[in-house]
Amino acid sequence: SQQGEEDPQALSIQEGENATMNCSYKTSINNLQWYRQNSGRGLVHLILIRSNEREKHSGRLRVTLDTSKKSSSLLITASRAADTASYFCATDGTGANNLFFGTGTRLTVIP
Amino acid sequence: DVKVTQSSRYLVKRTGEKVFLECVQDMDHENMFWYRQDPGLGLRLIYFSYDVKMKEKGDIPEGYSVSREKKERFSLILESASTNQTSMYLCASRTTGRSGYTFGSGTRLTVV
């Protein structure tokens, strides 16, 4: 399978704390993307990091990419209750025309 | 606001019925995708299309077909619905190049 794998599967933190989610993958990639899904809804694109980039920021989000380890991490700083959702990484492989999604990390932020 | 619209949020169908799931995008995107999402299995690609009348099988095409007669519309067809096709179905689109997807809100299909 070309799917990525997120770790942990579930994460529960207090509001104001930072949340870190990890993603490992198996194939060569053009880019890696992170998405958010609120319960029962579609996914929303958060951030894209290209294979030649090591770190990227967007607001309270920080993404890192280590292609030698085939891994990425998503950091959400100063979390809010509204950040409660599932987060997915998706790889855009060099040999494919579509994204491969992991199984997601369920984040719960407690007010 | 650009978007992908799926025709139904919730759908209940009987075993053996032919089911049509419709997806429309207003962004003039070339590529459209159908995924299903099941607990513990993540998102799995059923079919995708990179142009009008073009289609490619994904990882789990069995029991499904698709139609793309117009650029903005990508339909998923369950030829004869079965209970193991009960799932959340997600449509997405993206332009050419390695960009992100825009997803619809999803259709939760229950086959009884």
CB contact under 8 A, A43 and B101: yes
CB pairs under 8 A between A and B: 54
Three-state SS sequence of A56-95:
EEECCEEEEEECCCCEEEEEECCCCHHHCEEEEEEEEECC
Q: CA torsion angle for A109, B39, A4, B102 (degrees, to 10)? A: -80
Q: What is the mean pLDDT of residues B14-22?
A: 97
pLDDT (tens, 9 = 90+) of chain A, 111 residues, equals 556 788 899 999 999 999 999 999 998 899 999 999 998 889 999 999 999 999 999 999 999 999 999 999 999 999 999 999 999 999 988 767 789 998 899 999 999
Pair B41, A103: CB distance under 8 Å? yes
Cβ contacts of A49 on chain B, cutoff 8 Å: none
Residue B99's identity, in one-letter code, is S
**Which of the residues B3, B43, B102 would you substitute to probe the A interface, choosing the one with the greatest number of A C-beta atoms within 10 Å?**
B43
Is A45 in CB contact (< 8 Å) with chain B?
A: yes
- Which residues of B touch chain A, with CB atoms under 8 Å apart? 4, 31, 33, 35, 40-43, 45, 48, 50, 56, 58, 88, 90, 92, 98-106, 108
Contact A42 B4 (CB under 8 A): yes
Residue A44: CB atoms within 10 Å: 15
